[in-house]
Amino acid sequence: MFMPVPQHSNETGAVPWKHVALLAMLGFASTFATAIVFPNIGSFIRDRFVLSDTQASLFAVSYLIPHVVFAFIWGAWSDRIGRRSTLLVFGYVMTAVFHFSLPFIHSYPLLLLVRFGEGAFSILGFSMVMTIAADLARKGNYGRIMGAMGASIAIANTLAFPIGGAIGAESMVALTAFGAVILLICALFAHRYIREGEFGSARSLREALLVLRRKPALSIPYAFTFIDRFTVGFFAVTFPLYAGAVHGMDAAASGAVLAGYLLPFSLLTYPFGRLSDRYGGIRLLLAGSAFYGVSVMFVGLVPASWFLPVMIVSGVFAAFMYAPSLWMVASFAPAEMRASAMGGFNAAGSLGFAVGPIAGALISDLAGYAAAFITAGVAELFCVFVLFPLAARRLLPNWREGEQARAVSPLLPD
């Protein structure tokens, strides 16, 4: 029987940076291992099963829907039993099993079911590695630590698209076997070397699941990560389909262009995390989202020769948003509910990522690819100009908590 870990203070003491670096490496490797499949949706799914863009996008949706369902459940369970590292190892092993089996499934409905299983366990590993990092953080360092974790995830996606596209073009069996081996190595390292940080334990699963009621300010990063990941779904799924159908680009070529989006995003996530520690994340989140929304609107309007510069600009502003969102979650989540709060953040993002591809495919089929990317950009601007001011008026007065409140004090009432 699992026994709850007693509550400890997380506000004093030195940050174990070597351990944070190991967590960042695990986050990088496990994300890379699962993301390498995405650039091959055109050839591996649409062409293989002779599907429309909308039908092919279900491959991504079936992976992301369980993220929404299970992120809260895994997080609440972790908060209740107080065993993050055990769940982390279990998540990596099960993800490897499902991931390796993908090329051997020849029925599309069955393939979607296997992909659903992979998604259910991959979010377990992702949520636990991010939560352990947040457990190790101290006030004044949330942005640095979560920025480092976010950067590792972004770098993994940056490399996964061109490398996954190149390997998948030769052999999907080799690609998924490669990913499965990486995940098993991650499980081994997590089992032997991961040390959990200090955190409390929730009294019940119900208490853990009610984290948003206790900390309603978390709804702001949740709302923004939903919209942000909604637009990323357009990049990850709709853009490769668009580039192939309209501009004749194969998976490797479209993956290389997507790297132009992901590279500045990955390189700038950590610096913007540090800026969040210094100035607070609200201004960065607001400004980045506004400029990002405008840049996304141009993706479906420009010629192929402009893809790379537009992607680079979008990636820069994406980093403005991601690091402050992580900063908010780590800063304001109660210690005994941190996994639940991180699970909610991941669930909101995964829901956006799940809705994004299907929305992009539907709009593309009905009105064209240009209309799809305009819709994505407008959705981001809607979040900035409508959702943020509404939430700020209601929730910002509750954010005056210690050092973090001083970081955002210019936005708070006296």
- pLDDT tens digits for the chain (414 residues)? 333 333 333 444 566 778 888 999 999 999 999 999 988 887 888 888 888 777 887 887 888 888 888 887 888 788 777 778 889 999 999 999 999 999 999 999 999 999 999 999 999 998 899 888 877 776 667 778 888 888 888 888 778 877 888 898 889 999 999 999 999 999 999 998 887 655 555 544 455 556 777 777 788 888 888 998 898 888 877 887 788 778 878 766 777 787 788 788 888 888 888 887 776 667 778 888 889 999 999 888 888 888 888 889 998 888 888 888 888 887 777 777 777 788 888 888 888 887 887 888 888 888 888 899 999 999 999 888 876 676 555 555 444 443 344 344 333 333
Position 207 in a domain = no
Number of independent structural domains in the chain:
1
Q: Are 92 and 183 contacting, i.e. CB atoms less than 8 angstroms apart? A: yes
Position 407 in a domain = no
Residue linked to tokens 């809705």: 355
Q: Are 194 and 132 contacting, i.e. CB atoms less than 8 angstroms apart? A: yes
Q: Are 34 and 305 contacting, i.e. CB atoms less than 8 angstroms apart? A: no
CATH number of the CATH domain containing 175: 1.20.1250.20
Position 288 in a domain = yes
Position 273 in a domain = yes
Position 337 in a domain = yes
Comparing CA positions, the residue from 273, 277, 290, 236 lying closest to residue 258 is 236
Position 1 in a domain = no
Separation between Cα atoms, residue 138 and residue 118, nearest integer Å: 33
Position 86 in a domain = yes
Position 281 in a domain = yes
pLDDT for position 268:
85
Q: Are 230 and 352 contacting, i.e. CB atoms less than 8 angstroms apart? A: yes
Q: Take residue 200 and report the two structure tokens written for it.
A: 């409390």
Cβ partners under 8 Å of residue 138, min gap 6:
10, 11, 12, 13, 15
* pTM (2 d.p.): 0.73
Q: Are 343 and 220 contacting, i.e. CB atoms less than 8 angstroms apart? A: no
Separation between Cα atoms, residue 74 and residue 209, nearest integer Å: 10
Q: Are 292 and 314 contacting, i.e. CB atoms less than 8 angstroms apart? A: yes
Question: Which structural domain, as residue segments, surrounds residue 327?
Answer: 17-196+213-402
